[in-house]
Amino acid sequence: MAYTALYREWRPKTFKDVVGQEHITTTLKNQILNDRIAHAYLFCGTRGTGKTSTAKVFAKAVNCTNLQEGGEPCNECDMCKKINEGLAIDVTELDAASNNGIDKIRDIIDDAKYPPQEAKYKVYIMDEVHMLSTGAVNAFLKTLEEPPSNVIFILATTDPQKLPITILSRCQRFDVKRISNEDIKKRLREIVDSKGIYAEDKSLELVARVSDGAMRDSLSILDQAISMGNGAVDYNELVSMLGLVTNEYLLKLTECAIEKNIEGAVGTIDDIVFAGKDVFLFIKDLVAHYRNLLMVKVTNNPEEVLDMSLENIELIKEQGNRIRVEEIMRSIRILQEAEANAKLSKQARLYLELAIIKICKIEYDNSNEVILSRINRLETALKSGKIVVSKGASPKEEGAVTSTNSLNSMKAKVAPKKETVHTYGDDELSNSINITAVKSSWRDILEEFKNRRNMIIYASITTGRPAACENGVVTIEYDEQYSFNKERLEKPDNNKVINEVFSDVLKNRVRVNFIVKENNEEVKNPEEVLTDVIGSDFLEIIDE
């Protein structure tokens, strides 16, 4: 006899064999025992959780001629055997994904009119019913609502949201849950023990975690592992077979990000590229890696939610202890942006490098979350008294501006020259600013007026130009035709703002003075101007 896959060999034959769905099997058994069988059922749930298997067991139970105690089918009478072998003509199993046309539904409607030939009930099991076409659904509605008394429809779907409300309202709906890892492990242990196969508990636990709540997936993985291990399930071979060995590049690149080592991170990315890795797929793997780090931080039992070997989970835990949750969440957001951008272009490496630089250097990240976090840190520091804002402090009080020694030492590093006066008194001006510094900062000064919405001052000062700077006094010169701007800017309110802006941009206390350039130059004719510019040796003027 040909080999039968484990998930087919161990398909549930009784309600007791259906793992993890007691809320459904209990209801169905009670309906059979109390003769309250409905005409239409809908089983909803993810793949491999027992929807079709439950439907087949139910079809056997309602037609079993030797029903067991508790509403279980006997699996020994002729009807049970025929249904198990797929030979019962009164039990029809239909795949709606490949038979979704209106013609097939019409055939079922016509067939349902005739009484069952050998069973008590005609049972129609329709899998993936959400794939039915609109015409097929409309044709099916009347029969589904009022079928003959000896007809039962059992619908199964993995996507109930796609079903119209007209279908949902005509069925008794049962939501098939994902099976817990513990229940899957127990079932796997029962199978390997019955077959005399050696398997460690941690191997079965790993299979249960990777199967994601689907019994069929776990049996397929176990079947493959038994074949690889030649009749035994070896943990290390299972890890290798499932591809759960953690990529060393993921750990290395994350390590560089935690240590803010941009040079090492860029070098690692270069190694990834030259190793022939797909950078776009690597970005997706990196997102998954950070998700694993997050799960380690926020759950008490990460082994239950991580599809990884125990050794790799320990590596993830060790790395997770060195990074905060908010940093992980920020990194995931940045990497997801990089993944979306890389998907639309062929520059995946560039977007990965930009993402890693953003992760390493938070000052390069201009997202709203980062800006808000910076503001929150400043507000917290202000409320705690670590930062004291003092306006007009004297040199003796300068130490009160910051109460920490670190800030004072930072000031000493930034401004080691003591001859520069940084006080904000009214009479002491900086003598370290020259006209060159003023001219180089002129554009920044004008932009600062625009940023502060002082547009009148901006418009008035634009017509001038820095002419001199001595002993902290900056002189702005105007042509005679713009002398009215000088008068406007010398008003006390405007002059106060101007001095403040100049001092802030130049980082030194200065005062601004305005002068008007007298126009005493003689008016030259065009010939004289050309002679001055070109030179008399190269210019010959011909009068006509």
The per-residue pLDDT for range 343-391, each reduced to its tens digit, is 888 888 999 999 999 888 877 777 776 777 678 777 777 777 666 555 4
Give how far Cα 467 sits from Cα of 51, 409, 492, Å: 87, 36, 22
Write out pLDDT tens, residues 286-329: 998 999 899 988 888 887 777 777 778 888 888 888 888 888 99
Burial profile 365-387: b = 16 or more Cβ within 10 angstroms, e = fewer? beeeebeeeeeeeeeeeeeeeeb
Whole-angstrom Cα distance, residue 439 to residue 479?
A: 18
The pTM score is 0.57
Backbone CA torsion sign across 139, 144, 150, 154: positive
Residue 395 has pLDDT above 50, yes or no: no
Spell out the domains of the chain, with CATH numbers in brackets. 6-175 (3.40.50.300), 181-242 (1.10.8.60), 248-365 (1.20.272.10), 435-516 (3.30.300.180)
CA of residue 244 relative to chain centroid, distance: 22
Tell me, rounded to whole angstroms, the distance of Cα 368 from its chain centroid.
Answer: 16
pLDDT at 30: 92
pLDDT of residue 536 exceeding 70, the answer is no
The pair of structure tokens assigned to 466 is 């820095």
pLDDT for 200 equals 86
Rounded to an integer, the average pLDDT of 230-235 is 83
Give the model's pLDDT for residue 352.
92
For residue 472, give both structure tokens. 């902290």
